[in-house]
């Protein structure tokens, strides 16, 4: 996945569809687990707890 000079990446369409990410309507968060692995999570409407599904980012 390419990172632009502005630090942006495109989330693939199939991932957006599977996670229910809607343009201009959905907030996402980045979370790190105890092993150092990063996840993209769809933020809940209250921004306190993330939704229960995650996408693992492997670098």
Average pLDDT per consecutive 10 residues, the chain (59 residues; last block may be shorter): 90 91 90 92 66 57
What's the CA gap between 29 and 24, in Å, rounded? 15
* pTM score: 0.61
Q: What is the pLDDT of residue 56?
A: 61
Rounded to whole angstroms, how far apart are CA atoms 41 and 26?
11
């Amino acid at each position: 996945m390419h990172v632009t000079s502005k630090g942006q990446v495109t989330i693939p369409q199939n991932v957006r569809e599977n996670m229910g990410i809607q343009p201009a309507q959905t907030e996402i968060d980045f979370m790190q687990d105890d092993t150092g692995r990063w996840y993209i999570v769809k933020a809940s409407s209250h921004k306190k707890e993330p939704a229960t599904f995650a996408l693992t980012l492997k670098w």
